[in-house]
Amino acid sequence: MTTALALALAMVIDALLGEPKWLWSRLPHPAVLMGRMISAGDRRMNRGSARLIAGGLLVVGLVLMMGGLGWVLSHIPFVEIILGAILLAQRSLVDHVRAVAVGLGDTVAAGRFAVAQIVGRDTADMDAPAIARAAIESGAENFSDGIIAPAFWFLIGGLPGILIYKVVNTADSMIGYRTDKYEVFGKAAARLDDVLNWVPARISALLIAIAGGRIDLGGIVRDAKLHRSPNAGWPEAAMSRALGVSLSGPRSYEGTMTSFPWVNSEGRRDASAADIDTACRMLWRAWGVTLAIVIALAFA
């Protein structure tokens, strides 16, 4: 079985089953196991004057471990498909984003509660448009690093490729912060995650633009450069233009308001639950385009 065919089957299984609670309430998810390893490395290695080297060694160790594990497991029939389905997150992503639209359709408080499950910014004082924008941004960004990037590295490197990507992405989400504790120790994880997401982020932007029927590449490139991340701005810029709304902009973290620039500043700023639903439909269409490409590669 080709890697492309295995990926296509994994994508379909993920879309059908998502992350069944009955399974992951009984067994630790692979991402949870990766998180435990990273936490152990953080506790033991994030100290002293050589934290940059220590953080780099942690990342190298995780990459070698996941690469070796992936190589071993890839020799077991059907494991590539099963693990691929587990490590992709299309169904889960859309379900979580759509839950914000459902909550916002009830009350603003319910919308705040739902969006707090998927974003790291302060949500207590968000109004309805801010809640909707946050959900849409999360959906666009996570489409890149939760579906397209792991699928890309699965195609490039098989099971070792997707496992390496996931452990680096998990490390970045845990220790890749610009804080006193992690600025130095997490730098290797953050920079490697930027490298691994560089191509997938731009592919994601194109897929979202195709799904939305608004392929404004010049506008996407211009707005992507406004984002604080070298990668996250690409799918976000594509989604903002496909919906005709402004995204990003000012937001609060740990009680401090930060004035980020608006992405697609000429768009509407009164995003709503209906815009979240439209974004979810576009994420599924973009997923469908991706699946069609993967199937074409499988039978090429």
pLDDT greater at residue 153 or residue 180:
153
pTM of the model: 0.94
pLDDT at residue 177 in the model: 86
Is residue 255 very low, low, confident or very high in pLDDT (cuts 50, 70, 90)? confident
- pLDDT range class, residue 246, cuts 50, 70, 90: very high
DSSP per-residue letters across 221-286: HHHHTTSSSTTTHHHHHHHHHHHTB-EE--EEETTEEE-PPEETTTSBS---HHHHHHHHHHHHHH
- What is the pLDDT averaged over residues 89-107? 95
Proportion of the chain above pLDDT 90, given as a percent: 79
